Every structure is written in structure tokens, then in C-alpha cells.
Structure 1
Amino acid sequence: MTDSDDALFDRVAAEMAAHLDGDASGHDVHHAWRVHRLGVRIADEEGADPRVVGVVALVHDLHRVRGDGFTHPEETIPEVREILADAAVPDGLRDPVCHCVAVHEEYGFEDDPTAAETVEAEVLQDADNLDAIGAVGVARAFQFGGAHGNLLWDPERPLPDADDAYEKDDHEDEQASTYHHIHAKLLRLHENMNTETGSDIAAERHAFLEEFAERFEAEWYGER
């Protein structure tokens, strides 16, 4: 990485600030920078282009601040291209960045193949998913739940088994609870890493998430 790369990233972040400032769902500029730092770290280990990963980490969640319902990331590509142009991102980076944005929420759960066609897209998925597990991931989950009026947990609602199909909108339905979402999605993410580096980081964060889940239920029932 060079000083010019840092300047590039700062320009992109400055363009994104107006879109992400004020977000209360856990997809704010701090999330973008965390994904950026993890992504560049993984890219260096996995032979991906750190400039592509570094830029896309900063713009990948534009869809999260586009209305109350779910907006597919691909729908934001025209606006992402405008942001890249305004930030003077080199032409050669723009198509790879846009591909990463478009497919980063296609997780490949169960036996479905991931939609990522480049190592940069795989790295972005890993970095983004890593920010959803571990200590920060737990905090973000409850921040998101609070922003959407979700319960902490409804113990009358069965927790999903590992074999249950993941539903993308599960965290936002009218019966949603944050603890349910932790079981429905977050405790599965470590198995869906694309890269060896991502898997190594995920293993440690997953262990923390398992410990949190055990402690959460014990405290819920007054056992600890």
C-alpha cells in the first residue's frame, strides 16, 4: 500500500460519508472502515488486489441506507459508479469494485455456490461477514435489532437448527429477535468463508460467539 492508495481510500470514504452518516443499524462508516482494514489484511495474504478490496469495502453497503425494506446491492451499482467517478477512482478498478458490490450478499449457504467470480469478491464477503461475528458482531446485531424494533429474544419461538434453510429477511420480519438471528445466520458464517485467512480469523470469532450464546441463555434463565 502507498500514500496514493491511502489518499484514494480517503476520497472514497469522504464521498460515502454523506450516505452513511447517521446510520443506526450497524452499517455506518465505522463498519465500512473495519471491513476495509480486514479486507486489505486478507487481500495481502490471499493475493487479491488490495486497492479493489479497499475501495469496495467503503462503498459496499450503500444498499443498506436505501429505504426501509431490503434493497439488493446490485440495484445500487449506478449510484456506486457515480461515487467512484466523483472520488476519481481509476477506471480499471471500477468494474471489479462493482462486481464485488453486486454479489457480496450472495453467501452460498448450504450447497448453493457463491456468486463471487473473483478473489476480490471472495475477500470482501469474508471481511464483511467477519464483522458480523465476534465481539463487534454481537454489538452490531443488537444495534440492528434495536433500530428495527426487534425483541432481544422470544424463547417461545424455536431457535433454528443448523439444517434449517437461511432466509435473508429473517432478521427483519415482524417476529424477529436478535438472538434468533444469531442462530439463524451468525453462528453459520464461519463455515462460509471463502479464503483460508478468513477461515482462520472466523474460527476464533466463532468461538467467542458460541461462548456468548451459552452465557446469554444462562443469564436469561438466571442460571449465572
Structure 2
Amino acid sequence: MNPNSEETEKLNKIHNFMCGILDSDQSGHDSSHIDRVIGLTKKILKKEPTANQFIVLASATLHDTYDDKLFVDQREAKKKVIDFLNAIDVDPKPIIYIIDNMSWSAETFGQAKKLDINGQIVQDADRLEAIGAIAIIRAFKYAFKHQQIDYDPKIKARVLKNKTDYRNGKQTTINHFYEKLFKIKDSLNTETAKQIAKRRDEFMHEFVKEYISEYNLDA
């Protein structure tokens, strides 16, 4: 069901709230990233008529507004989101549930609860944004902000066992493709997302192959 006029107005308020938090982000999680996730969400929604479009779009818009990668005090950031939703008369529970259980790290390391179709759509849209051409730029932007090196053949990709290793262990940006980004295609839920992912995944593989070839002066 499409959002009604009241819900559309609330989605606009939610978008403005998100922009106030993320517009200045320099790690690849700014409001332009969110807008692309929203666009992908709408593509998937066209093929998923049972989904609640308001909950899906609100969750997609807010999904990075208290991400622990971006905020020192995640608890306070989350409270700010919940207080805002209550203030505009939106039940925060289904939105917060999706955000809390959609991340790759939460799912990979056994911390995520099961998502229904609403959460699966948001999860797919966000994961599609993590693969492909723009995703390559985002990966290097995040790495630059956190002073990671691009590539070192002596540093091998890790078998990640927990979130602490994932967040804090030594890695290179190229290794991040092997540790996470190349695995995303096979983690998607909806057929629409799986179709979109094919070319994006191929492009990333082509990029990494060319990067390593040039690094080794083979190209």
C-alpha cells in the first residue's frame, strides 16, 4: 500500500531529520548514500506488494542515524531517533527493530533477529549500495577517513570470527572486498535485489583484479 498524504508528510519530516544528522558525513554514509538506498528500496517495493511502504521507507531513511561506526555515543544517537519519531506520532518499534537487525555484522556474527519482508527490503537496498561502482568509492572514502592503507600483499584477508575483529583488526581496503563485499551478493533476500546485484558484483571483481594487476605491474 502506498503511503497516504499524512504518511508522505511524515516521510518528508523523517528525511529532513536524517539530513540534519548525516549531511556532513565524510565516510560514505552521508545523505546522498541514504537517498540512493531509498531509490533502491522503491525499486524493490514495486515487486513486493505485501510490504508496508511507510515502514520500509522510514527505516531506509533512518538506518544510519545511529550506526555504531558513525557515532561515539550510539545509545544517545538512538534515543534521539526514537524521541523524534514519537514527536511526529510514528511508532518507533517496527523501524528500530529493522535498523537493529539489518546490518551485515549483526547477521554475520549471530546477533540479528529474523526480519520480515519489510526489513528484508531495507536490508537488500542497503547491501546493494555496498556493492558496485559507487560502493568502491565509498569503501575508499571510509578507509581514508580511518587511515587504512589501500593494499599490502603481505596482509592477507581475514576469516572474521566476531564483530570486534571486523571493526578493529588490521585490514586493507582491498581485503575488505574479500572479507565482506564479495559475499553480499549471496546474502540478499529478494529476487529484484539479486538481479541488480549481479552486474555490481561483477564490476567489483573486475576492479579488484585490475587493481592488483596494476599494483604488481602486470597490466
TM > 0.5 fold call: yes
Q: Return the offset for 1:117.
A: 2.6
CA distance in 2, matches of 1:122, 1:195: 7
Matched, 1:99 2:97: yes
Give the conservation status (yes or no) of the 8 Å contact 1:190–1:199: yes
Q: Per the alignment, do residues 2 and 118 of structure 1 end up closer, same or farther by CA in structure 2, a change over 3 Å counting? A: closer
Q: Is the 8 A contact 2:101 2:114 kept in 1?
A: yes
How far apart are the structure 1 equivalents of 2:148 and 2:97? 32
Give the counterpart of 2:11 among 5, 9, 12.
9
Find the partner of 2:23 among 21, 24, 33: 21
Q: 1:62–1:12: structure 2 CA closer, same or farther, 3 Å change rule?
A: same
Q: Tell me whether 195-204 or 130-139 shows the greater mean CA deviation.
A: 195-204
Partner in structure 2 of residue 131 of structure 1? 129
Cα distance, 1:172 vs structure 2: 4.2
Q: Would the aligned equivalents of 1:56 and 1:97 in 2 still touch at CA under 8 Å? A: yes
1:167 and 1:215 map into 2 onto residues whose CA distance is 30
Provide the residue aligned with 1:78 in structure 2.
Answer: 79
Aligned partners of 1:11 and 1:136: how far apart in 2? 27
Please tell me whether the aligned partners of residues 116 and 122 of structure 1 are also in contact (alpha carbons under 8 angstroms): no
- Closer/same/farther in 2, CA of residues 213 and 89 from structure 1, 3 Å limit: farther
- Greater alpha carbon shift after TM alignment, 7-16 vs 138-147: 7-16
Distance, in Å, in 1 between the alignment partners of 2:165 and 2:43 is: 31
Aligned sequence identity (%): 27
Contact 2:102 2:115 in 1 (8 A): no
**Pick aligned residue for 1:214 from 209, 212, 219:** 209
**Does the aligned pair in 1 maintain the 2:100–2:112 contact within 8 Å?**
no
Match of 2:37 in 1: 35
Match of 1:116 in 2: 114
Q: Paired residue for 1:142? A: 140
Query: Could you tell me the TM-score, scaled by structure 2's length?
Result: 0.85
Determine if contact 2:157/2:171 at 8 Å carries over to the other structure: no
Q: Quick check: 1:42–1:198 contact (8 Å CA) kept in 2? A: yes
Which AA in structure 2 matches 1:78? K
Cross-structure match for 2:176 = 181
Contact 1:35-1:131 within 8 A present in 2 as well: yes
Name the counterpart of 1:44: 46
- 1:158 corresponds in structure 2 to 156
Q: Per-residue deviation at 1:63?
A: 2.2
Q: What is aligned with 2:72?
A: 67
* Structure 1 match to 2:61: 58
Distance apart, 1:167 and its partner CA = 4.5
Paired letter, 2:38: H
Unaligned runs of 5+ in 2: none
Tell me how far 1:30 sits from its aligned partner. Answer: 0.8
Q: TM-score, normalised by structure 1?
A: 0.84
SS of 1:154's equivalent in the other structure is: coil
> Residue 80 and residue 219 in structure 1: after superposition, are their counterparts in 2 closer, same or farther (change >3 A)?
same
Residue type of the alignment partner of 2:151: W
Distance 1:6-1:135 versus aligned 2 partners, 3 A rule: farther
Residue 200 (str. 1) matches residue 195 (str. 2):
yes
- Provide the rounded CA distance (Å) in 2 between the counterparts of 1:158 and 1:54: 38
Q: Note the aligned Cα RMSD (angstroms).
A: 2.5
Cα distance change of structure 1 residues 169 and 34 upon mapping to structure 2, 3 Å threshold: farther
